[in-house]
């Protein structure tokens, strides 16, 4: 019943803002579109469609606002006017009642508020789609920030996600590009992010991991987590003070070297991605502060990205391919991985990629729009029937955040010049003699266990009563080795294609 009521409200809001034109503006539904317009003859739609869509999402509540924010990064799915308008959606939403927040804290931690904190500010300092934050002081005098999950979010998300899945299936049915752009997979990925954000213990663990990765870093500080005061719906962490990174004039007054700060931001990002394979994926200005000494201070770890060693290797190689303007290698990788049809002409695909990427090199950020380049890349991929994969949304979104921060800090920042030495050094460490020594060091314990057993294993094999049994075992081992080799080759091709496409998404 609740789902029916929610659906009724969504339909009412959609009709009020004229969102029916998004669904019915298709030859298959032309007659239905005319009927709806006749029935709603009293409706006056003066605002542009993109503005009406943003207003409708804001009216439908925090979950739809969050979806609009994520969707704004997917310019492969959206026309430019809609993507630009959805990018205006803000994280700030009306806070919920402080009494509910206090009840949530006491229920989660099993103690009255007075026993948990010496002081607790009932006025929230920040309020977002999923949670809000209060400042407090522990009894030992440590100042902390208390993040509290919005009550009832699990049920609301479950209902809204179910309705989004239905809408995604409808889009695939009535839109010519719907199946290729995979809206159902996008909704599924969005649902995963939301469910991850609902578990604040998971966020606390992510913050702890990132803090450990940068514990001695002169560039980035991550707040300490207070585990005794944290649960799935409440997280307490060290309160860190700094200047929001978008207040550039204030940072200059404090004597912060702004160009150096911009370069440090690029280094932090690439360190997280390539050294650790674990990166903060929500790096908008509201989550990044700067200390008086010019050190980055990060908060809000609800959305984190991860990469495997294979992922990092392919991604780095393709970044370098773009830096070296080797577009033929990128085109061939797409075809070999099966992302582009086998009959695709490499020279034509290479020329198309070159026409998009070549104009952006050797230019400062102020003369480059990643959004426009991404849009052209998506148009190119559509022309060559390349399937858009949603797996790299987080990395793409983070690169766009980095672009925004870079523009605000130092419009003359050359992203390519800053990043290329880091990537070359990382590749040398992964593929040179240092990588060999590292691999030997990692495998040494296994070899130390296996080598003493070799004589016994060989004797057991030679002592087999039936030589055919031994031959059969050897043949089986050979077949298994071949299967694993073929499997690894397929995985390598797949990941190579995935990261080639991801790179020319995000380097635009």
> 30, exposed or middle or buried, with CB in 10 Å at 0-12, 13-18, 19+?
exposed
Q: Which residues have C-beta within 8 Å of that of residue 218, sequence separation ≥ 6?
A: 295
Pick left, alpha or beta for residue 325 (phi over 0 → left; psi -120 to 50 → alpha; otherwise beta): left
The token pair at 290 is 């700067």
Pairing mode, strands 234-238 and 143-149: antiparallel
Burial 389-419 (b: 16+ CB within 10 A, else e): bbebbbbbbbbbbbbbbbbebbeebbbbebb
Residue 228 DSSP class: G
d(CA 188, CA 390): 10
Contacts of 253 (CB under 8 A, 6+ apart): none
What long-range pairs does 488-495 form, CB within 8 A, spacing at least 24?
491/310, 492/310, 493/336, 493/337, 493/338, 494/337, 494/338, 495/310, 495/311, 495/314
Sequence-ordered strand ranges (E) for 4-67: none
Tokens 């690029």 belong to residue: 266
Q: Catalytic residue, from 20, 76, 282, 311: name it.
A: 282
CA of 252: how far to CAs of 268, 460, 484, in Å? 21, 74, 57
CA distance 336 to 327: 14
- Compute how many other C-beta atoms are within 10 angstroms of the C-beta atom of residue 194: 23
177 catalytically annotated? no
Q: Which two tokens stand for residue 52?
A: 């009406």
| Rounded Cα–Cα distance for residues 453 and 442 (Å) | 19
User: Which alpha helices (DSSP H) does 61-199 contain, by range?
Assistant: 62-71, 80-86, 98-109, 113-116, 153-174, 178-181, 183-198
3-state secondary structure 341-363: CCCCCHHHHHHHHHHHHHHHCCC
The CA–CA distances, whole Å, from 303 to 7, 141, 195 equal 28, 30, 10
The catalytic residues are 282
């Amino acid at each position: 019943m609740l789902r029916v009521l929610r659906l009724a409200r969504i339909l009412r809001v959609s009709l009020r803002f004229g969102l029916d034109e998004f669904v019915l503006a298709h030859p298959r539904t032309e007659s239905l579109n005319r009927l709806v317009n006749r029935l709603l003859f009293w409706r006056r739609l003066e605002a542009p469609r993109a503005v009406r869509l943003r207003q409708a999402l804001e009216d439908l509540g925090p979950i739809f606002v969050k979806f609009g924010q994520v969707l704004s990064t997917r310019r492969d799915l959206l026309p430019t006017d809609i993507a630009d308008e959805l990018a205006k959606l803000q994280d700030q939403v009306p806070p919920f009642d402080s009494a509910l927040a206090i009840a949530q804290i006491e229920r989660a931690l099993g103690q009255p508020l007075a026993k948990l904190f010496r002081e607790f500010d009932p006025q929230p300092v920040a309020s977002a789609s999923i949670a809000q934050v209060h400042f407090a002081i522990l009894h030992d005098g440590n100042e902390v920030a208390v993040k509290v999950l919005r009550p009832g979010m699990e049920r609301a998300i479950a209902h809204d996600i179910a309705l989004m899945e239905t809408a995604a299936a409808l889009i695939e049915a009535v839109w010519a590009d719907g199946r290729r752009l995979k809206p159902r997979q996008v909704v599924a990925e969005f649902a995963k992010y939301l469910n991850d954000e609902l578990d604040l213990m998971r966020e606390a663990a992510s913050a702890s991991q990132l803090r450990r990765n940068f514990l001695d870093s002169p560039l980035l500080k991550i707040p300490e987590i207070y585990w005794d005061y944290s649960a799935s719906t409440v997280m307490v962490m060290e309160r860190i003070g700094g200047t929001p990174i978008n207040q550039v004039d204030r940072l200059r007054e404090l004597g912060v070297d702004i160009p150096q700060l911009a370069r440090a931001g690029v280094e932090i990002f690439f360190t997280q991605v390539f050294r650790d394979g674990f990166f903060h994926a929500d790096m908008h200005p509201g989550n990044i502060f700067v200390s008086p000494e010019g050190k980055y201070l990060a908060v809000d770890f609800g959305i984190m990205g991860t990469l495997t060693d294979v992922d990092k290797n392919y991604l780095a190689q393709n970044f370098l391919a773009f830096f070296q303007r080797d577009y033929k290698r990128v085109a061939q990788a797409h075809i070999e991985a099966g992302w582009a049809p086998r009959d695709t002409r490499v020279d034509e695909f290479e020329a198309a990629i070159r026409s998009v990427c070549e104009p952006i090199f050797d230019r400062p950020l102020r003369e480059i729009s990643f959004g426009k380049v991404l849009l052209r890349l998506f148009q190119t991929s559509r022309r060559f029937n390349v399937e858009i994969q949603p797996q790299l949304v987080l990395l793409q979104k983070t690169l766009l955040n980095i672009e925004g921060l870079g523009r605000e800090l130092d419009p003359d920042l050359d992203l390519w010049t800053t990043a290329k030495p880091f990537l070359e050094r990382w590749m040398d460490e992964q593929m040179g003699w240092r990588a060999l020594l590292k691999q030997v060091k990692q495998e040494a314990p296994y070899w130390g266990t296996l080598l003493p057993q070799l004589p016994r294993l060989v004797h057991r094999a030679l002592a087999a009563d039936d030589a055919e049994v031994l031959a059969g075992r050897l043949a089986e081992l050979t077949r298994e080795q071949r299967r694993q080799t073929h499997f690894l080759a397929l995985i390598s091709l797949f990941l190579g294609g995935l990261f080639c496409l991801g790179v020319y998404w995000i380097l635009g």
